[in-house]
Amino acid sequence: MDFRKEERIFGIKNIKIIDGDQSYPVTLMNISKKGLSVKSEFTFPTFKAIEIEISIRGKQFKISGSVRWVNENPGKGKPNFKEIGISLITAPEEYLQLLEEILNPKQEEKK
């Protein structure tokens, strides 16, 4: 049973975290309209403000976020990877609309 309030999208690639002039590639675990979870070899302090660059359906987006939690030992995969939860601060309206389309596809009317 899933206890999450927001629907999640899995499997999006081409994502990185920008911290100042440094760029860190990450692996997306899941994403919702309010945040995302990634795996990274790098860690960031809780409540650190960051930028996220993500490509969805060929469109590139830059989003402001804040690190909400870090799991230093997620227990799966390589032991040096950390799981990081990021809360979105500001996201372009086009990004939010695209996520809405993916999360809630319109059903074609039956003839």
- Secondary structure letter of residue 20 according to DSSP: T
Q: What is the pLDDT of residues 38-57, one digit of tens each?
A: 988 898 999 999 999 998 88
Sign of the dihedral through C-alpha 64, 43, 80, 74: negative
pTM (predicted TM-score) = 0.78
Q: What is the pLDDT of residues 68-92, one digit of tens each?
A: 999 987 666 556 788 999 999 999 9
Domain that holds residue 48: 15-102
Residue 76 falls within a domain, yes or no? yes
Residue 53 falls within a domain, yes or no? yes
How many domains does the chain contain in total?
Answer: 1
- Give the domain CATH number at 82: 2.40.10.220
Residue 70 falls within a domain, yes or no? yes
Residue 1 falls within a domain, yes or no? no
Residue 80 falls within a domain, yes or no? yes
